[in-house]
Amino acid sequence: MDYSTLEPGQVVSRRTLTIDQQTVSSYVTAVADASRPWGEEAADKTVPPTAVATLGFRCIIEDLTIPEGTVHAGQELEFERPTRVGESLTYEATIEQNSVRRGSRFVTVGMAVQDSIGRKVMAGKSLLMVPAG
């Protein structure tokens, strides 16, 4: 992908994912997440917020074909409500900023996540430092 052609406002990833129990269990095991933010009873019915974000970032990485040497320099996340296991979520990633400074390209990607009826679940952005060239 030619990152120099990415323009603010350009949609670079759009996917709909259904988060099933197997995905949640794999995530919880991989990150050793023992937290139960909504209580023990809801733990098997609720998706960890960071799992919602991680699945979206995975889509962005795949769709942007992130090159070797890229640094994930920062991120901001805002969660609107809990996500239930089995919910379908639509992820949309948009370029917010794309510039070159000191020999590196800085790309800010915004991400919006909505449920199947259009309610906001999460919003966030990531700053990627991509090798220029």
Domain count, the chain: 1
Domain hosting residue 49, numbered range: 3-131
Coil, strand, or helix at residue 20?
A: coil
pLDDT average, residue stretch 45-67: 88
Query: Across the chain, what does the average pLDDT equal?
Result: 88
Question: DSSP assignment, residue 9?
Answer: T
111: domain CATH number is 3.10.129.10
pLDDT bucket at 41, cuts 50 / 70 / 90: low
DSSP 60-120: HHHHHTPPTT-EEEEEEEEE-S-EETT-EEEEEEEEEEEEEETTEEEEEEEEEEEETTS-E
pLDDT of the residue at 43: 53
